[in-house]
A and B are shown apart, each in its own frame.
Chain A
Amino acid sequence: MTLTLEDFPPGRLGTFGPRHVTREEMLAFAAEFDPQPMHLDEEAAKRLMLKGLSASGWHLCSLMMRMMCDGFLGRTASMGSPGVSEVRWLAPLRPGDDLLLDVEVTEARVSKSRPESGIVTFKGVVRNAGGEALCEMVSPIIVRRREGGA
């Protein structure tokens, strides 16, 4: 069954993953979108602030999006998103890490401009296998209401 606005009351939604991240995919993403030495050059990265090869923060955000799609958005009547309130990159994603994503609904309301839909605000925190938080994201997504409304 397709999830609608009514299925997202404020509170904990769930934990999604794990998603294993390989060195090869980190390097491929960095080469295409973020070719900085800290994301691409093992030796140079050791001498830089993050002290070792790390994934692009945009790669980590894109992986969080994929984990949300696989976890629940893929079966949600999603209509897109107006943006992202905040992203905090807290610690580097390293090659070979396994990611877990905790998602909480912080707000869910009916849209004023499109009453057939609502805005659900999600807060996602992604952690590595050691439990260290790597990234926090707060993002509203437009979700259709159940047929006939409430």
Chain B
Amino acid sequence: MHFFEEMEVGQRSELGSFTFTAEGIKKFAAQFDPQRFHLDEEEGKKSLFGGLAASGWHVGCVCMKLLVADAQRHAKEAAARGEEVAVLGPSPGFRELRWIRPVLAGDTISFASEIETKRTSEKRPEWGIVQARNTGTNQRGEPVFSLLATAFVPRRSDRP
């Protein structure tokens, strides 16, 4: 996680990857999205997905998980350098979420985030508002997931 001042439009961060297991897919689906193609291999094969497919919400949640882990890595490094630590603010929402291809059991998805816009908040001058395109790509290099996220990002307290 960086401060608003250090973020630039076009900046891209690789967030790491995650392997979706059959067990993990079924566990998430049983809790939040109990549709047959997310719960059962045979039903998955018969569906448009062609196999046991992760709930799209599971894919989005894993992207969030890796975003937070990346932010916490940066915060730890800044703290180790004795610098001020940026704590990410809440998000007012997202747009254009696309489940481009199914994520099937055994797939490994690599996530990345690229900054598209940045502006300061009029109502909250200590915050900036950043839009980033978060994407997921499978082990064959095919895009599977994309969304345009918005988040409050802290400005440096010592800004001019």
In the complex, per-residue mask of A56-90: 1 if CB is within 8 Å of any chain B CB, else 0 = 11100111011001000110001111111111110
Identify the closest chain B residue to A30 (Cβ): B68
Contact B68 A35 (CB under 8 A): yes
Majority secondary structure, A binding face: mixed
Interface residues on B, range: 35 or more
- Complex interface: chain B residues within 8 A of A48 (CB): 87, 89
Contact B97 A33 (CB under 8 A): no
A69–B36 alpha-carbon span in the complex (Å): 11
- Complex interface: chain B residues within 8 A of A66 (CB): 31-34
A53–B97 alpha-carbon span in the complex (Å): 26
| B151 vs chain A, min Cβ distance (A) | 10
Contact B47 A80 (CB under 8 A): yes
- Complex interface: chain A residues within 8 A of B57 (CB): 58, 61-62, 65
A58–B32 alpha-carbon span in the complex (Å): 11
A78–B91 alpha-carbon span in the complex (Å): 30
Majority secondary structure, B binding face: mixed
Q: Is A95 an interface residue (CB 8 A)?
A: no
**B residues within 8 Å of A by Cβ?**
31-35, 37, 47-49, 53, 55-57, 60-62, 64-65, 68, 72, 87-99, 102, 147, 152
**A residues within 8 Å of B by Cβ?**
32-38, 48-50, 54, 56-58, 61-63, 65-66, 69, 73-74, 78-89, 92, 142
A-B contact pairs, 29 of them (CB 8 A): A33-B61, A33-B62, A34-B61, A34-B68, A35-B68, A36-B68, A36-B88, A48-B87, A49-B89, A49-B90, A49-B152, A50-B90, A54-B90, A61-B60, A62-B31, A62-B33, A65-B32, A65-B57, A66-B33, A69-B34, A80-B37, A80-B48, A81-B56, A82-B98, A82-B99, A84-B147, A85-B97, A88-B93, A89-B90
